[in-house]
Chain A
Amino acid sequence: MTEKNLTPENEQEKVPVEGAQEQAASPAPRKSFQITTNHILWGAGILVFLIGSIGLFQRFTEGLRPTSLGSYVPWGLWVAAYEYLVWLEVGSLLVFTSLLYVFKWPKALARMAPTLYLTALAILSMALILIGLDLGHPFRFWHVLVWPQWGSMLTWMIIAHMVYMLVLLGKLALELLPYRPVFRPISKWLSIISMPMGIALVVIAGSVFGVVMGRPSWQGSGLPVLFLVSALVAGTGLLTFLYIWFMRDNSQEYVELARRLGKLLLAFLVINLMVTVLSSFVILYPGVPAQSTALQLTLFGPYWWLFWIFYLGLGVIVPIILLMTQTQTARRIGLAAGLLITTFFAVALNIVIPTQMAINSVERDLVTAYQGPGLRAEYFPTANEWLVTLFALAFGFLVFLFGFTVLRLRPHVEVPAEEAAK
C-alpha cells in the first residue's frame, strides 16, 4: 500500500493507513503547530458558513421578504441552484455506475467510490437546504409525506430525491463499515438500482417544469430530456474533475483513464451543444411569442452574458478546445472539467428565470395593472439570496471535509475487494 495516490492534504499530513494505532501509542516528539491545507480548508469553510448564516438568520426572521422573489417570478436562484445540484449529484453517480457496471471501464475507477459518494451527499445536502429554504413554510416539508398529491410532479420529485438519498446513505454506510462479504451483493444492487432511480429523479425534476401550463416555454417533453442530458454533462464533468484531483499520480493508468474521461466529457459537451442549438432553432424559427420570448431574453436580454460568456464561452467552447488539443494532459482535462461544472450553473439559471420574466412581454398589461412588492417581472438575486446560497454551499463543503478528513471517506488505495473479485 503506497501513499503516492493520496490527496493533496495527505501529502502534507502523510497519515498512514496501516499501523496508525501503533504509531499513536508510541511516544512521538512534540511538534510545533503548523498550519496545514486541512486547517485552511476548515477555516475557509467555517468562515463562509458564518457569513452565510447572516442570510439564514435574515431568512428566518424576515421570511422571503428580503429576496427578489415575487408573484410573477416565484422561482429564482435557489430553485435554479437546486436543479443544477441535482444534475451534479445524480449525474456523477449515474455516469460512474454506468461506466463500471454497464461499460466495464477499468476497475481502477472504482477506487474513488467513497469520495464520489461523499461528494454526492455533500451536494445533496446543499440542494435540500436551498429548496427547503425556498418554501414559504420550510417547516411544513413533511406535509408532502402526510398529504401527498400523487398527481403532482413535485411530490414525485421530493419522494424520488428522498429515496435516492437513502440509497446514497446506504452506499456510504457500506464504505464506512468494516468490510464483510455480505456487503458485496448489497453494494452491487444498490449501485444497479441507483441508475434507474437517478434517471427517474432527473426526468421527474425536468417534468416539474414540463407539465406547467402557465409557462409555455417550459411546457412539453423537451425539458425532461434536456435535464437528463444536462445531468450527464455536468455529472461527467464532476466525475472527471474528482478523478483528476483526488486520484492523481504519475502512473500511465491514471493518465489513460483521465484521457478516457476527457473524451467522454468532450462527447457529452458536443451532444449538449447540438441539443442547445437545435432546440433554440426550433423555438426561434416560428417565433411564437409565448414560447420564443424566454429564449430571446436568454440570448439578448439583460443577462445575455450568462449565456454567451459563461455558458457558451467558458463552459463549452474553452473546455472543447482544451479537450481537443493534441497535447492533452490530466491537468488540462481537469481544468476543462472544472470550468464546465462551474459555468454549467448558467444553464439552470437560463432555464428557470427568463421563462418567468417573459411575462413582462407576453402579459405586460397585467404586470402593470397593479403595483406592489413582488409584482414585478424582473429578477436578480438579492444579497440575502446570495448569502443563503453561500450558507448552503459552505454547509455542503463542511460535510465533505468532515467525511473526508474525519470519517476518512477517501479513494481506496487499491481496487476494492468486491471489484477485484469480478
Chain B
Amino acid sequence: MNQTKSTESQEPLSAAVAEQPQVSGFVSLESIAAALNVSGLEPRDVLARMHEDLQRALQKPPAERRWAMVIDLRKCVGCHACTIACIAENKLPPGVVYRPVVEQERGIYPNVRRVFVPRPCLQCDEPSCVPVCPVNATYKNEEGVTVMDYDRCIGCRYCLNACPYNSRTADFGHTYVNKNLPIMDGVLVGRNEADDYERAANYEYGEARKRTNGYDSPIGNARKCHFCLHRVYEGELPACTTTCIGRATYFGDMNDPDSLIVELINQPNAIRLREELGTKPKVYYLV
C-alpha cells in the first residue's frame, strides 16, 4: 500500500523531475528517486505486496476467495515476457497461447503511439464458454476460475467459438521439434534432447501430463489460461505476473478488501472488456 501511494498520489512525475538539478541534460537517478519520494530500497516491489496478499488469501477456504487480475495498460511496454513465461510455465505447444499481447498502432505520423493489450482468459463470472460444453468439461471452480477437465473434454471446440474474447486455443498436438531439426547429441537444442524436453510433463492443474504420444490429453482438447492455479496453490503468483518487467500485471483475491488488487479494481480508470455482453470478466484493465 505504501508503494502505491508513493508512486501514484504525488504530484506529476514530469514536474517533480524538472525541479531537480540536472547534469548535462540527463536526468539523474537521484532526481527520479527524489521525484518518486523514495530513497534506496525503501519502496517495496508490488510483487512482495501481492505475495503477502496471496498468503493471506490462501489461509481462507477456497470458496471464500475470488481470484482476479488487473493489467495496467499504461505500464505495459509490450515486451511479451508474460507470453513467454506462460509458455514456459505451462509448456505450451505451437499454436496454443494463453496470454497473447495484442499490439495496436494508433494515430498517423508524427502523432503515433503503440498500445499493448495483454489478452489472457478474462475469467468471466458469467462465462459463455461454460454452458455450451456438452460434457461439463469446462467449468467455473469455487474460486471463480474457469478450468478444464482434460480427461472429460471431447474436443468439439464449441467453447472456442463461444468465447467472445477468443481466449481459448485448441491443442492439435503440434510440436516445436521436427525432423528438420539437426540431431546434435548432447546439445539441448538438438533434436533428441529438445524432443525429450518437449515431451516431458507439464503441471497444469497440478497434474503431470506428458506429451509422449500424439493423442493423449491435453492434445485434442481446448486449452485456456487458468491463472496458474498450480503455482497459486503453492503460494506463487501466476507466471505472467512475476515476469512482468513493467509490473503492469497484478493478481490477487477480490474478496480481500485489504489487497492491492481490490485497491486497483476500485480505481475510476479500471475497465473491463466488452461489458455490454454481461460476461463480467475478472480481468480488469487500467487505462
Chain A residues within CB distance 8 Å of chain B: 61-65, 67, 69-72, 74-75, 134-137, 140-141, 143-144, 146-149, 151-155, 158, 208, 211-215, 356, 359, 363, 365-366, 369-370, 372-375
Contacts and interface: CB of A to CB of B under 8 A. Distances in A.
14 contacts: A62-B173, A63-B220, A69-B172, A134-B156, A136-B170, A136-B172, A136-B221, A143-B152, A149-B131, A151-B132, A152-B134, A153-B132, A154-B156, A373-B172
A213 B94 contact: no
Contacts of B220: 63-64, 135-137
A137 to B, nearest CB: 5
A373 B95 CA distance: 5
B267 to A, nearest CB: 25
B141 to A, nearest CB: 16
B38 interface: no
A208 B134 CA distance: 11
Contacts, number: 162
Contacts of A370: 83, 97, 100-101
Given A63-B219, A135-B154, A155 B94 contact: no
Interface in B164-202: 164-166, 168-174
Most B CB within 10 A of own CB, among A70, A136, A158 = A136
Given A65-B172, A75-B157, 9 more contacts: A69-B157, A71-B170, A149-B134, A152-B134, A155-B134, A214-B166, A366-B100, A366-B102, A366-B119
B184 to A, nearest CB: 24
B35 interface: no
B142 interface: no
Nearest to B222: A136
Nearest to B156: A135
B175 to A, nearest CB: 10
Contact of B166 (A75, A135, A359, A372): A359
A71 B95 contact: yes
Contacts of A70: 95, 170, 172
A218 to B, nearest CB: 8
B283 to A, nearest CB: 15
Nearest to A365: B102
Contact of B154 (A64, A143, A212, A373): A143
Tell me if B's interface is mostly helix, strand, loop or mixed: loop
B96 interface: yes
Contacts of A72: 166
A71 B160 CA distance: 7
A41 B131 CA distance: 46
B161 A75 contact: yes
Nearest to A60: B215
B202 to A, nearest CB: 17
B133 interface: yes
Given A140-B154, A374-B95, A212 B132 contact: yes
Given A136-B157, A149-B135, A369-B100, A64 B172 contact: yes
B47 interface: no
A145 to B, nearest CB: 9
A63 B173 contact: yes
B102 A74 contact: no
Nearest to B119: A366
A67 B164 CA distance: 24
A140 B217 CA distance: 12
Contacts of B156: 134-136, 154
Contact of B163 (A69, A214, A365): A214
B133 A144 contact: no
A370 to B, nearest CB: 4
Nearest to B274: A213
Nearest to A66: B172
A369 B117 CA distance: 10
Contacts of B117: 365
Smallest CB-CB A-B distances: 6 pairs? A136-B155, A136-B220, A74-B157, A369-B100, A374-B95, A71-B169
A414 B97 CA distance: 63
Contacts of B134: 144, 148-149, 152, 154-155, 158
B103 A365 contact: yes
B133 A152 contact: yes
Contact of A375 (B95, B136, B158, B165): B95
B153 interface: yes
B101 to A, nearest CB: 6
A63 B172 contact: yes
Contacts of A372: 94-97, 174
Contacts of B48: none
B221 A137 contact: yes
B18 to A, nearest CB: 36
Contact of A147 (B135, B163, B214, B222): B135
B162 interface: yes
B131 A144 contact: no
Contacts of A143: 135, 137, 152, 154
Given A136-B157, A137-B155, A154-B158, A65 B136 contact: no
A270 B138 CA distance: 43
A201 to B, nearest CB: 15
Contacts of B55: none
Nearest to A215: B161
Interface in B76-109: 83, 94-97, 100-104
Contacts of A369: 100-103, 119
A151 B95 CA distance: 30
A135 B221 CA distance: 9
A213 B162 contact: yes
Contacts of A134: 156
A360 to B, nearest CB: 11
B29 interface: no
B7 interface: no
